[in-house]
Amino acid sequence: MTQHAPSDSWQIARSKPVVKRAARIALIVGSILAIINHGHRLITLDVDLPMVLRIALTFCVPYAVSTYSSVLALREYGRPS
C-alpha cells in the first residue's frame, strides 16, 4: 500500500465526480432517513430550528460516508479522480 498525502485526499474529495456521486447519495439516503426520523412532524409542519438542524445533519452523514468511501477506493486503485 502506498502512502498518500492528506492534500491528495482533499483533492479527490473535492473532485467533480466524487462530489456529484456523494450529493446524489446524500439526497436519496438523507431523504429516506429524514422521513423515517421526522416524518410525523414534517407532515404536520411542526418544525423548529433544532429539528431543521438535525435534518440537515441527516443529509451530511451519507454525504460524508460516500465521499470517504470514494476517496479510499480511488486511492487504493491509484486513480486521482
DSSP string, 19-73: HHHHHHHHHHHHHHHHHHHHHHHHHTT---HHHHHHHHHHHHHHHHHHHHHHHHH
Mean pLDDT of the chain, nearest integer: 90
pTM for the predicted model, two decimal places: 0.81
Is the predicted pLDDT of residue 72 greater than 90, yes or no? yes
Buried b (16+ CB within 10 A) or exposed e, 31-52: eebbeeebeeeeeeeeeeeeee
Is the predicted pLDDT of residue 44 greater than 90, yes or no? yes
Is the predicted pLDDT of residue 2 greater than 60, yes or no? no
Is the predicted pLDDT of residue 73 greater than 60, yes or no? yes
